[in-house]
Amino acid sequence: MPNPAREPTFLPLTMAAAGAADDEGAVAVRDRAESADRAAADCWLSLVAGCTSGRQTLINRLHDLSEATSGYAGMRWWLGHGSVHRRRVAAAEHRIDDAVREGDGAEFAEAFIGYDQAVATVVVHVQNRLGKLST
C-alpha cells in the first residue's frame, strides 16, 4: 500500500477494505485498486502540471477496478440488492471521467473520495455477507 506521506493516495479505503480478506476476489480488487491508485497519482500530477498524459490509463484502470468489484460482489447481488451500490460506483466513476476530461483538479479530488467510498462500501458488504470480517 502506498505511503501517504510520500505520494498521493486516492483509494485508501478500498485498499484497506480489500486488504482485510485474502480470498481470490478480494485480492483481485486490491490488485486493481493498487493499479488504479498509481494511475490516479500519475494523472493527478499531469493535471497539476497542465498535461494530458495518463488520463486514458486512469479511466481504463478505474473500469478494471469497477469490474473486479462487480465480480467480487457477484452478479446476482450486484444487479439485485446491490444495485444502489452499483449505481454509486458507476456515477462516481463517471464523475472522475468528467473531471479528467475537463482538467478540473478540485472535482477530480472530490470525485475520488466518492468513488473510494462507494467501492470500499461494496467490498465491506461482500465481506460481511460472506462472514469474512470479524468484529
Decide if pLDDT at 125 tops 70: yes
Helical H segments across the chain, by residue range: 12-19, 24-49, 55-73, 75-79, 83-102, 105-130
pLDDT at position 2: 45
**Residue 7: which pLDDT band, with cuts at 50, 70 and 90?**
low
Distances (CA, A) of 99 to 21, 40, 61: 32, 12, 15
Express each pLDDT in 59-109 by its tens digit. 999 999 999 999 999 999 999 999 999 999 999 999 999 999 999 989 999
The rounded percent of the chain whose pLDDT value lies above 70 is: 92
Round to whole Å and give the CA distance between 131 and 125. Answer: 10
| Eight-state DSSP code of residue 64 | H
Distances (CA, A) of 117 to 48, 49, 51, 111: 24, 27, 27, 10
CB atoms within 10 A of CB 50: 7
Q: Which residues contact 57 (CB under 8 A, 6 or more apart)?
A: 39, 42, 43
**Residue 135: which pLDDT band, with cuts at 50, 70 and 90?**
very low
Q: What is the mean pLDDT of residues 22-51?
A: 92
Round to whole Å and give the CA distance between 110 and 87. Answer: 17
